[in-house]
Amino acid sequence: MIQSFTVFLLSLFVFTQPLSAQEIYPFRSGEEIEYDIIKFRMKVGSASLKYHGEIKLDGQEALLIYFTATAPKFLDQEKIYLDPLTFKPIRVDRDLDIFGKQEQISEFYSQDNGLVRIVKKSKGETSTQMIEKKQRLDNIYGFLYKIRAGKDFSSKQGYQLNLPTTEVTVTFKEKIALKVADQKFHAYYLESVPKQYKIWFDQGAQKIPLRIEGALGSLNASLVMSKYRDRGQAILSAP
């Protein structure tokens, strides 16, 4: 009897321990999604989103994702630190090289105050800009992971996307077939109001963002998935 009770207590301890982000999200450390950058129906560059996972940032729990975009005479490398509960940005560090003009940009978010402090460094000079929105702010790539971590879509569901420079509502429109990476996917199609963003997610458990259209940082183009890797193993790829 005592042995059975001990086993019961141990099972309670095991199954009531808080799960880490690694265990509850449909993506895990090492996941990488590669994209073709499409402009005027032509491939003009490549981009990637990589989920690093949980880290400590100045003693605070955070999730780290990497975004990289390359094109002729263009490079954008970003480290995006997110709150693991809300997927709101805590800090974003960017290295830009556009036609040889190099710039380092750091964005520091005060979510409780709806503030972001933007520090830019270029050619030895530093400038600071403050943007106040009086509401919690998003990052477009963090927003994608937030949607992936949430529940399945419904026709009544809407997501508020509050970026430092714009505010839109993103809503589920329909389920459609979409061909990317030379494969056909069953996709959820979402669209923003006003019409600034269009996003297609795979209907599978991981809800992979298959295609993204709109203003994406320094880009105003379409990202179309070309390859998907889970912990370094290529699962989907274009020929």
pLDDT digits (tens, 9 = 90+) for 103-152: 999 999 999 999 999 999 999 999 999 999 989 999 999 999 999 998 77
Select the more confidently predicted residue: 6 or 99: 99
d(CA 16, CA 19): 9
Residue 182, C-beta contacts closer than 8 angstroms, at least 6 positions apart? 238, 239
Model confidence at 7: pLDDT above 50: no
Model confidence at 159: pLDDT above 70: yes
Residue 108, C-beta contacts closer than 8 angstroms, at least 6 positions apart? 91, 116, 117, 118, 119
Amino acid identity of 131?
I
In a domain, 1, yes or no: no
In a domain, 19, yes or no: no
d(CA 148, CA 150): 6
d(CA 215, CA 222): 9
Residue 206 contacts residue 148 (beta carbons within 8 Å): yes
**Per-residue model confidence as pLDDT tens digits over 189-217:** 999 999 999 999 999 989 999 999 998 77
d(CA 194, CA 185): 26
In a domain, 5, yes or no: no
d(CA 221, CA 57): 31
Return the percentage of the chain with pLDDT > 70, whole number.
Answer: 85
pLDDT confidence tier of residue 219, bands split at 50, 70 and 90 = confident
Residue 92, pLDDT score: 98
Q: What is the CATH number of the domain that holds 195?
A: 2.50.20
In a domain, 42, yes or no: yes
pLDDT confidence tier of residue 169, bands split at 50, 70 and 90 = very high
- Expressed as residue numbers, the domain containing 154 is 26-231
In a domain, 7, yes or no: no
Mean pLDDT computed over every residue of the chain = 87
Domain count, the chain: 1
Residue 101 contacts residue 122 (beta carbons within 8 Å): yes
In a domain, 88, yes or no: yes
Model confidence at 63: pLDDT above 80: yes
In a domain, 117, yes or no: yes
The helix/strand/coil state of 24 is: helix
Residue 214, C-beta contacts closer than 8 angstroms, at least 6 positions apart? 140, 192, 196, 197, 198, 220
Model confidence at 85: pLDDT above 60: yes
Model confidence at 14: pLDDT above 50: no
Residue 28 contacts residue 52 (beta carbons within 8 Å): no
Residue 6, pLDDT score: 43
Which helix (H) or strand (E) is 184 found in, with range? strand 183-193
Per-residue b/e over 190-199, b at no fewer than 16 CB within 10 Å?
Answer: bbbeeebbbb
Select the more confidently predicted residue: 215 or 57: 57
Select the more confidently predicted residue: 232 or 159: 159
pLDDT confidence tier of residue 10, bands split at 50, 70 and 90 = very low
pLDDT confidence tier of residue 11, bands split at 50, 70 and 90 = very low
In a domain, 96, yes or no: yes
